[in-house]
Structure 1
Amino acid sequence: MIQTRREYNYCFIFEDGSKKNFKVVLDGRSRIIRETKKDLPSWTLLSHHQCPPCSLDNETHSHCPVAVNIAELVSTFIQSPSHKKCTVSCSSPERLVSKDTTVQKGLSSILGLLMATSGCPVMDFLRPLARFHLPFATVDESVFRSVAAYLLRQYFLKDEEQTADFELNNILGQYEVVKKVNKGMLERIRDISVRDADQNAIVTLNSLAQILEIEIETNLESLRHYFVEE
């Protein structure tokens, strides 16, 4: 049964007792539900540092969907330094996850969720992961989830008698494009950021894409021992 709506509520609590809250609301297809805003910042325009793999055009889209999705978060943390200590919690219908961490790492977790659910055609293959969002995922967890989601998609493609790729031949190409989108978002944010927390959060996401590439190229050796008895 498809859920019609779900919420992720992030709360950043700082050492001085101040808080910043951010809510992500998704529909049953894990697409973000947001209020339509007319006063979007200029850096969200589609033509502003448009990503090379972008398939959208100005006739149908005046603004980049990923940039629009992260605009409020970027403006909220525009004054925040990367390594400022805080406690970040994420509540969902199933659980509450909390971690003593830094602004950069907390932002990386929520940015990944926002970018995957934005409606960007390039990033849309990541949308199923948003339904099973794992805040503050480790590198191993991220690699496991990414590869498992890719293989599950291939299972459904085969079930629909379409071409499936169980050898992971095309996964590297997908994440190469993700890196280009991350770079495009980084260039946009650099134009307006005062501090570096949001920029470094994007860099962290890009690092995970790079690690995944290495893992695939080395036949997922870091995960093999979980499945193969020595």
Structure 2
Amino acid sequence: DIVSYDTVRVTVESEERSVTATLSAQQALASLMGLVMASSGCPKTAVFRPMARFHLPFSSESETAYRVAAMYLVAQHFAHRDGAPSDLNLDQLERVYRGVHAVNRGMAQRLRAATRQDAIVNAIVLLDVYSSLVPAAIHDILDEIRPAFEALLRSE
């Protein structure tokens, strides 16, 4: 039986790469559950399918924020190109995450009723923490990495 804080060594293999990490069981399961939920048929998590397609196992908070912003802005590019309104300020991102919060809460309740171990439940709770933090902090996190984009921001 694995508990949340147990240290595990996990390897994720895909066609593109192999990623190995030593981390807590709940962190490993959160990465897996994020992928599973994004790939499921749930309409609230369907917005994350592009992130599932380009999955980055065990991503940090800043990596996750970057990937979320990139995914969202690519979608806005497609909307704009199709003549639909687009949201380049990330204003609607919070609405997306409110729906995900409801899914996470329901999933955690069902898993809590189905298992005696806490690792999988805490993995969902960890995903839910990200779903609260990312929309609130995304602009700050992106401001931190802005210097990396200076060459693209210069008008020549």
- Asked if structure 1 preserves the Cα contact closer than 8 Å seen for 2:65 and 2:141, the reply is no
Amino acid at match of 2:12: C
Scaled by the length of structure 2, the TM-score of the pair is: 0.90
What is the match of residue 210 of structure 1? Answer: 132
Gaps of 5+ in 2: 152-156
Larger radius of gyration: 1
Displaced runs of 4+ in structure 1, greater than 6 A?
Answer: none
Match of 1:165 among 75, 87, 92: 87
- In the alignment, structure 1 residue 142 sits paired with structure 2 residue 64: yes
Q: Does 1:132 align with 2:86?
A: no
User: What TM-score, normalized to structure 1?
Assistant: 0.62
For 1:133, give the aligned amino acid. Answer: H
Code of the aligned partner of 1:99:
A
Query: What is the identity, as a one-letter code, of the residue corresponding to 2:115?
Result: S
Structure 1 residues not aligned, in runs of 5+: 1-78
For residues 184-227 of structure 1, the C-alpha deviation after alignment (integer angstroms, 9 at most, x for no partner) is 10111111221100011011111111121221465843333433
**How far off is 1:168 after superposition?**
1.2
Q: Larger % of helix: which?
A: 2
Deviation per CA, 1:152-192: give whole Å up to 9, x if none: 00001111111111121111110111111111101111112
Q: Deviations over 1:94-149 (max 9, x none)?
A: 11100111211110111000000101111111001111000000000000000110
Letter in 1 for 2:148: Y
Query: How big is the alpha-carbon RMSD for the aligned residues of Structure 1 and Structure 2?
Result: 1.7
Q: Find the aligned partners of 1:226 and 1:175 in 2 and give their Cα distance.
A: 27
On the 8 A contact 1:215/1:221 being kept in 2, the answer is no
Q: 1:150 to 1:101 in 2, by over 3 A?
A: same
Which SS does the other structure have where 2:148 is aligned? Answer: coil
SS of residue matched to 1:226: helix
Alpha carbons of 1:119 and 1:84: their partners in 2 closer, same or farther (altered >3 Å)? same
Q: 1:115 aligns with which of 37, 59, 64?
A: 37
Q: Letter of the aligned partner of 1:150 in structure 2?
A: Y
CA contact (8 A) 2:66 2:142 kept: no
Q: Give 3-state SS (helix, strand or coil) of 1:227's partner.
A: helix
What is the match of residue 154 of structure 2?
none
Q: Indicate how the Cα distance of structure 1 residues 218 and 99 shifts in structure 2: closer, same or farther if over 3 A, else same.
A: closer
Tell me whether 1:176 sits opposite 2:101 in the alignment.
no
Aligned length: 151
Identity %: 36
More strand by share: 1
**Pairwise mapping of residues 70-85 of structure 1 onto structure 2 (< 5 A)?**
79-85=1-7
- Who is 1:186 aligned against? 108
